[in-house]
Amino acid sequence: MCLAMPSKVVEVMADDMAIIELGGVKKTISLGLVEDVVPGDYVIVHVGYALSKVDEEEALKTLALFAEMTAAESAPA
Amino acid sequence: MKHVDEYRDGETAQKLAATIAREVKPERDYRLMEFCGGHTHAIFRYGVQDLLPENIKMIHGPGCPVCVLPIARIDQAIAYAKLDDVILCSYGDMLRVPGSKFTSLMKAKAEGADVRMVYSTLDALDLAKNNPDKKIVFFAIGFETTTPPTALAIKQAQTMGLTNFFILSNHVLTPSAIQNILESPDVRDLGAVPLDGFLGPAHVSAVIGSQPYDYFVEEFQRPVVISGFEPLDVMQSILMLVRQLNEGRAEVENQYRRAVTHAGNAKAKKLVADIFELRRVFEWRGLGEVPYSGLRIKEEYAAFDAEVQIPVHVAPARENKACECPAILRGMKKPTDCKLFGTHCTPENPMGSCMVSAEGACAAYYSYGRFRETA
Ligand code: SF4
């Protein structure tokens, strides 16, 4: 089955539909399962529906955590 | 691609690997099951296993919806497809899954049945709208990620006043299956597959949240880390599991905080609860009958339930005896243990369901790992 991918919302249309972009490809999907999505948001898209919104702040925290988890390498054991 | 490329950086992967290698205790094994086929695929595609120390063993779980559907349900879908006034539609992979006696939806189509591949339930609704003289049966499969789209389609069909749109529901639940693996006699009595911890699928939890695993870790004392699907997500989650095990903790941790919350997606959950109810028992390939692990349509929406409106009869079906999918799905065997692997059974000509979907363990082994495994 198709994996879900984080995709950028470029346009919100009538009837909970939206146009998203992923890797340069645009697609029409449904926002019927999520709330408060505006253009510019990233959503996780699966079988034509957004399942959830990507939280930018949490994404940055995860990336910061990578740095933390790998930084210890140079510390003396 | 934003929110993708950052999680595929090779250098960070090497560093995470070094941290993992430093923290594992050499005297023990870490047997970690990635439940979801999406993780299996990512682990093979990016060679994650190669970056891990020897004593971390990744065991592939049954989380591929195509792989766990028993043959009888495929036969049932084929029976629908063969009805004159029915258009049977489903997601692409389902069309190739072998039923009994080497049939499949694709073969039924070649023999004249009206079978269509759809990308989304939205396409299935369109089919119903554009073919008022036909009955559209959507062969619905999948875990918690595909259930809300099916539920929403039923609501939409109702709003649109469609009377020719039917769902053949095969939706199943992730937490019940994980629990079942630990309760299966193989694991419990024989200790054949000791499992120390689980990677939980992030997209399932985007819908149901991390909360359904709270009970599980309490009951079974095994850590669960909800993990994203990019290679760095998987590596970070493995490190989190290693740390929990080293510290003797068994907790639910959420690595995919960027899209998963404790409670999940309330709107999607409500929709599913409105339309579906638990089946007392549902059959899984490999796991057998698992209590309260499948969903059926509530009586209130029976007008859209294919099994109620258009009952079909199929003979009991037997699995292909040589196919090891059932044991592979429980983590008991590896694809390379199957005699048919790579010879009679390939992704082009699958004999079993685990070879059909890219998320199936056999397909992942074949596409990315078979040379390493046999070396
Ligand atoms: S290789 Fe094919 S026949 Fe063997 S277990 Fe996998 S899917 Fe089944």
DSSP B256-296: -TTT--SS--HHHHHHHHHHEEE-SEEEETTTEEEET-BEE
Of B1, B146, B149, the CB nearest to A22: B1
CA of B371 to the centre of ligand 1 (A): 17
> What is the structure's pLDDT at B319?
78
CA of B170 to the centre of ligand 1 (A): 22
For chain A, the domain total comes to: 1
What does the pLDDT look like over B53-75, one tens digit per residue?
Answer: 999 999 888 888 888 888 899 99
DSSP states of B63-122: E-HHHHS-HHHHHHHHHHHTSTTEEEEE-GGGGGS--GGG--HHHHHHTT--EEE-SSHH
**Exposed e or buried b per residue across B298-324, where buried means at least 16 C-beta atoms within 10 angstroms of its C-beta:** eeebebbbbbeebebebeeeebbeebb
Average pLDDT over every residue of B10-14: 90
Residues 57-86 of B with CB under 8 A from A: 64-66
Full-model pTM: 0.90
- CATH number, domain of A11, equals 2.30.30.140
Is the CB of B236 less than 8 angstroms away from the CB of A69? yes
What does the pLDDT look like over B295-308, one tens digit per residue?
Answer: 999 999 999 999 99
The residue to which tokens 């919350």 are assigned: B261
Range picked from A44-48, B7-11, B216-220, B284-288 for highest mean pLDDT: A44-48
φ/ψ bin of B181: left (φ > 0), alpha (ψ from -120 to 50), beta (otherwise): alpha
B360 touches chain A (CB under 8 A): no
Helix (H) or strand (E) holding B201: strand B197-201
- Give the whole-number percent of chain B exceeding pLDDT 70: 95
Q: What is the ipTM of this complex?
A: 0.87
Residue B281: pLDDT over 80: yes
Contacts of A41 (CB under 8 A, 6+ apart): A8, A9, A53, A54
- Give the whole-number percent of chain A exceeding pLDDT 90: 61
Taking one residue from A and the other from B, the number of pairs with CB-CB distance under 8 angstroms is: 128
Q: Which domain holds residue A58?
A: 5-74
Q: How far apart are the first and last CA of chain B?
A: 35
> What is the structure's pLDDT at B3?
86
> What is the structure's pLDDT at B161?
97
